[in-house]
Copies of this chain bind each other. A is one copy, B any other.
Amino acid sequence: MFLVIDALSAAAEPTRRRILQLLASQPRTVSSIAAEFTVTRSAISQHLLLLAEVGLVTAEKVGRERIYRVVPDGLRQLQAEIDRFWTAELDLLVADAHALKSQRIERDH
């Protein structure tokens, strides 16, 4: 059904980002999550299935509901991927941007 992709690509999608944030504060059912969005339950369900595929969430079947929760270990892997991407060089460039901004502010005063 899904092509397995990496955690970062999976988590980057705007809707899935919000889903992860919601689930971070507390486990939820599909419908409960869908209530926070304009798209259908179905769409949310599929996002959750994808997130499960890459190990960022798991579902616990309770009656006819599925309680989805984030998997801490999956999050760790996601964080690791982000860290691997965000190299020291990128960090330096951001620092430069900050410096330039400060300079601009000082000049404008």
**A residues apposed to B, CB below 8 Å:** 6, 8-9, 11-14, 17, 20-21, 24-25, 70, 72-73, 75-76, 79, 82, 85-87, 89-90, 93-94, 96-98, 100
A21 touching B85 by the CB < 8 A rule?
yes
Q: Select A93's contact among B6, B8, B70, B87, beta carbons within 8 Å.
A: B70
How many Å lie between the Cα of A21 and that of B86 in the bound state? Answer: 8
> Can you list 19 A-B pairs with a CB-CB distance of less than 8 A?
A8-B12, A8-B17, A9-B12, A9-B13, A9-B14, A20-B90, A21-B85, A21-B87, A24-B87, A24-B90, A24-B93, A70-B93, A72-B94, A72-B100, A75-B93, A75-B94, A76-B94, A82-B82, A82-B86
